[in-house]
Chains A and B, each alone.
Chain A
Amino acid sequence: MRSDGRNGGVGRTRNQFPVGMRVLAVDDDPVCLKVLETLLRRCQYHVTTTNQAVVALTMLRENRDLFDLVISDVHMPDMDGFKLLELVGLEMDLPVIMLSVNGETKTVMKGITHGACDYLLKPVRLEELRNIWQHVVRRKFSNRERANIDGLEECHRPSNADFDNVHSQITCGSPDQSGRPSKKRKEYHSEEEDEGDDSNGQENEDPSAPKKPRVVWSTELHRKFVAAVNQLGIDKAVPKRILELMNVEKLTRENVASHLQARHLPHFVQFIPALAILRTDMFSTKYRLYLKRLSHQASIVAALGGSDPFMHMGTFEGLQGYQAFTSSSGLSSFSPQGLLNRNNPTSFVLQGMAASRPIQIATGNSTISHSIGDANKYHLSLPGNSRQQGSVAQGLTASVGQVQLSQKWIHEETDDLSSILSVNGLANGMPGTLQNVTNSPLLQQDLVECRQAKVVIQPSSPTSSDRLEGTVGVSSSLMDSHASQQSRLPLSAFSTSALPIDGSFGNKSIAELGVKPSGGTNICASSDLRVARDNKVGASSFGSGILVSPETAPNQKYLSFGGGSNLRQNMDGGNPDRLLDSKLVWSSLPISQPPSLIGSHHLMSQRPNNGSLGARLIGQVTPSDSTAAPQTKVDMFIPGEMLTPKNASDLSFPKVQTEFSSSSCSFDGLLNSIIKVEKDDASFSDGLGCDFYSLGACI
C-alpha cells in the first residue's frame, strides 16, 4: 500500500496534474468520510468534504468551477446519491464517482446509468483513488480525443455548453483516449465525456493526454467561435478569419479548423438562416435546375467506391458551380469511409442549404451514405446489406458558400460522420417543414446525378405548424426508412416524395412509402429542430424524426447523442419537453444498452427554451417496423451545433455501427443500421442512422 501511495504521489507530482485536483467528497457516514478524505489527501488532491448531499449540491452550484470531481456515497439520508449524481451530471457536467458498500450489479448499474463515471466499493483503497484523476482528464479530453481518434469519437460536449447555461450535458460516450472500443469505455466515459468540464481548464489535464495538448472548447470559447462564424457569414467563415475574430490567445488556426469541422452541424444550424436565404435565392434557381438534371440521372445509384466518392461529390458540385453546395462536400465527408461507396451515396442537398453532412455512421466500417436524392430510385438498399455495418451518415448540409467549411469538415469526419443535419434554419419555423431538400444522389465519381428533390418536409405529423425549412428532410426520411426500413419500402416512399421535389415531404410521402405517416417525420433541418421543441412534432408523427433546429438556438449547438436513455425517456414520454436534459451518456447507453440507444442524441432539447433540442426521436418509426417505440430513434440533431462529425462519431457510432451492421435494410446502411437497431433495440444508432437515412431516402 505504502509503496503504491508513494509511487502514486511521485508520479502525480511529476505531471503535476493530479496534484491539487479538486475533489468534493460526500458521505453521510463520518467514518467513511474521514477515511476517504485522508486517502484523497494522501493522493495529493485538494479535498473538500461534506456529510450532506444537499450541502454538496449547494456548494457545487455556487462554485461550479471549484471542483474537478465529485465522489459521493450512494446511500445518504438527505438525498439519494443517485439523485445527486443525476443533478450534478445535469448541472455541472462534473465526473462523479459513486461509492458504496453495496456492490450488487444492479446498484452499480444504476450508478452507471445515472451517469457515474466510476463506482467504487467501500472500503476504498488508495490504489483506486490514485487513479480517479483519469476521469477528470478523460472527460475533458474526451472531445478532443474523440475528434482525434479516428474521428469516430465525437462528443458533443460543445453541444452541452451550447445548450445553455443549463449545462445540460450531453455526454457522449466518447471513446476514450485510448480509443478502445470497449463498451466499458463508453460507460465510464459517459459521464466523463460530458464535455462541460472542458470548459474548466482542460489544459491542466493535458498531461494525461498523450496527444499534443488540445484546446478545450469551453462554452465561452465556443460562443466566441460561433459569434465569429456568424459575424463572418457562412461563406466566409474560414478558420483563419474565425481565429482572428475570436482573438483568443494560444488558439491556433488548426484548433479552429478542427472545431469548425466538428461543429459542422452546429454551424449549419447557425447558418441556417443564412442558408435558407441562400437557398431560396441561389439554390432555388440554379441549383434546382441542376438538381433537375441530376434527378434524371438520379436513378443511378452508384456505389461510391471509396471515401473519395464524397470528394467526387464535391467536385461534382463544384462543376456545377454550385459551390454553394457545400453539401456535397459534406457528403463527402460523410462517406469518407467509403461508406457511400457501397451504397449509393446520396447526397442531399438541401436546397438552399448546404446541408449535407454526413452522418457517419458507421464507425468506420462501412458507412453508408445515402444520398438522398431521389428517393425513388434510390435503392440504397442494396448496399445496405453490404453495409451491414452500416452506418450511414448523412449529412445534409446546406451550405451555401460554405464549401470550404464543408471540406474541412469532411476531412475531419473522415472517421465518422455523424449525420449532420444542417438545416436551414429558418428560425421561424419551428418545426417546420423542411423545405426543399434536394437530394442528389451521388454517383460515383463522375456521375453526379442527383436529383433534386426538394423535400420539404413538413412535419405534417407534427403539428406542423411550423415548417421546417430546410432541411433536414433527411431525418424524416430516415425515419421513414426506418420504419419501412426493413422492407425498404421507405425508400420508395421517399423517393416518391423526393420526386416531387419541391413537394413536401410530408407525411404523405411517407405514407406512400408504406411507411406510416407517422413514421414519416422528419427532422429536418436545423431549424426544424425547433420542432423538437414543439416537440413532438416529429415525434409524434414519426416517431422518429428528430429535428434539430439550429436556428433557434444557435446556442444550442450540439446535441449529443449520448444519452440514449434519456432519449428514450423522451421518446417514451413523448414529451418533447423533457428532452433529455440529462446527460446522456453514451457510455452508459452502450453499456446498458441496447435498449436505450437513443442515446445518441439526447439532449437535444434540453432546454425547451432554447429550443430545441434537436433530438427527439421519434420514437418509433414505423409502428410496424419498430416495435419498440423506444427504440426508435432519436435523432439527434443538434440543433445548433450539431453534431460535429467528431461528435457524431463519437457518439455512438461505433457502437452503433455494430448495431447497424446488422443492417438489413436496403437503404443504405443507415436503414440497415437503423433497422438493426430497432431490432436490437439499439436506438441510438438507429435513430441517427434512421434520420439520416431518411433524409437520404427523402432525397
Chain B
Amino acid sequence: MAAAALREQLNTLLSSMFASGMVDEQFQQLQMLQDDGGTPGFVAEVVTLFCDDADRIISELAALLEQPAVDFDKVDAYVHQLKGSSASVGAQKVKFTCLQFRQLCQDKNRDGCIMALAVVRNEFYDLRNKFQTMLQLEQQIQAQQ
C-alpha cells in the first residue's frame, strides 16, 4: 500500500513537472525508454548526469562572467552545451533560458549574461529539487518492493 501511495505521489510530481513546462516530451520519452526498454535506472542515471553536468557548467559560467574580460566565446560554448544536455533530458525551462542566454552572449552583454545565468541557475535548482524528490520516491518505491 505504501508503495502505491508513493507511486501515486511520484506520478503527481511528474505530472506537475510536465504541466508546468519544467520538463517536456523528451523527458517522457526517457521514461518510456526506461519502462519499455528494460533499462531500469536509466532515467535516474541521465538525471544525475544532467544535474552534475549542469551544476559544473553553471559554476564555470559564473567564474567566466566574473572575469574582467569576459570570454564570450567560452561562455557561449558552455551555454550551448548546457542547452544540449537540458534538451536531451527534457529540461525545457532550462533549455529556454539557455536560448536567451546565448543571445545575450552573442551580443556580448555581460550584465545580461549575469542575469541570464541567475535565471538559468534558478530554473536548474528548481528542476534539480524536483528530480531529487523524484529519485527519492523511486528509491523508496523500490525499497518497498
For A563-574 the 0/1 string (1 means CB < 8 A from B) is 000000000000
Instruction: Return the chain B residue nearest A39 by Cβ.
Output: B33
The complex places the Cα of A649 from the Cα of B54 at a distance, in Å, of 51
- On chain A, the residues within 8 Å of B128 by CB distance are none
Which of B12-20, B42-50, B132-140 participates in binding chain A? B42-50
B121 interface residue per 8 A CB criterion: no
Nearest B residue to A28, CB-CB: B81
Nearest CB in chain A: distance from B80 CB, A: 6
CA distance A123 to B94 in the complex (A): 14
- In Å, the complex CA distance between A30 and B54 comes to 11
| Distance in Å: Cβ of B51 to nearest Cβ of chain A | 9
Q: Is the CB of A35 within 8 A of B88?
A: yes
How would residues 44 to 85 of chain B score, 1 for a CB under 8 Å from any chain A CB and 0 otherwise?
A: 011001100100000000000000000000000100110111
**Once bound together, how far apart are the Cα atoms of A122 and B46, in whole Å?**
15
Contacts of B32 in A (CB 8 A): 1-2, 5
B interface, over-half SS: helix
The CA-CA distance from A126 to B39 in the complex, in Å, is 15
Q: Is B144 an interface residue (CB 8 A)?
A: no
**Is residue A211 contacting chain B, with contact meaning CB distance below 8 A?**
no
Question: Do residues A34 and B81 form an inter-chain contact, with CB atoms below 8 A?
Answer: no
* The residue from B33, B49, B88 contacting A42, defined by CB atoms under 8 A apart: B33
Query: Interface readout for A10-41 with B: 1 if CB under 8 Å, 0 if not?
Result: 00000000000000000011111011101101
In the complex, A319 has a CB within 8 A of chain B: no
With A and B bound together, what is the CA distance between A2 and B50 in angstroms?
A: 23
Q: Is A125 an interface residue (CB 8 A)?
A: yes
Are A34 and B46 within 8 A (Cβ)? yes
Task: Assess the B37–A123 pair: CB atoms within 8 A.
Answer: no
Q: A29-B84, A102-B80 are in contact. Are A1 and B53 (CB under 8 A)?
A: no
Q: Are B85 and A75 in contact (CB under 8 A)?
A: no
User: Which of B29, B33, B53, B84 has its CB near the most chain A CB atoms (within 10 A)?
Assistant: B84
Is A66 among interface residues, defined by CB-CB distance under 8 A? no
Q: Kindly provide the distance from the CB of B142 to the nearest chain A CB, expressed in whole angstroms.
A: 20
User: Would B88 and A5 count as touching, CB distance under 8 A?
Assistant: no
In the assembled complex, the Cα of A11 lies from the Cα of B36 at a distance in Å of 17
Among A1, A31, A77, A124, contact of B50 (Cβ-Cβ < 8 Å): A31
| Chain B min CB distance to A291 (Å) | 66
Q: Which residues of chain B are near A35, meaning CB under 8 Å?
A: 30, 46, 88-89
Give A649 to B102 CA distance when docked, in angstroms: 45
With the chains together, A29 CA to B54 CA distance in Å? 10
Tell whether, in the assembled complex, residue A73 and residue B84 are in contact, meaning their CB atoms are under 8 Å apart.
yes
Assess whether B81 is in contact with A29, with CB atoms less than 8 Å apart: yes
Question: Is A289 among interface residues, defined by CB-CB distance under 8 A?
Answer: no
Q: Are A31 and B37 in contact (CB under 8 A)?
A: no
CA gap between A73 and B26 in the complex, in Å: 18
Closest A residue, CB atoms, query B54: A31
Is B87 engaged at the interface, CB distance under 8 Å to the other chain?
yes
Q: CB within 8 Å of A: which of B64-123?
A: 77, 80-81, 83-85, 87-90
Residues of A within 8 A of B (CB): 1-2, 5-6, 28-32, 34-36, 38-39, 41-42, 73, 75, 77, 100-102, 122-126
| In the A-B complex, the 10 residue pairs with the closest CB atoms | A31-B85, A123-B26, A32-B88, A101-B84, A35-B88, A31-B50, A122-B87, A123-B87, A123-B88, A31-B49
Show 27 residue pairs from A and B whose CB-CB distance is below 8 angstroms, ordered by the A residue. A5-B32, A5-B33, A6-B36, A29-B53, A30-B85, A31-B46, A31-B50, A31-B53, A31-B84, A31-B88, A31-B89, A32-B84, A32-B85, A32-B88, A34-B45, A35-B88, A35-B89, A38-B30, A38-B33, A38-B42, A38-B46, A39-B33, A41-B39, A101-B80, A101-B87, A123-B88, A126-B33
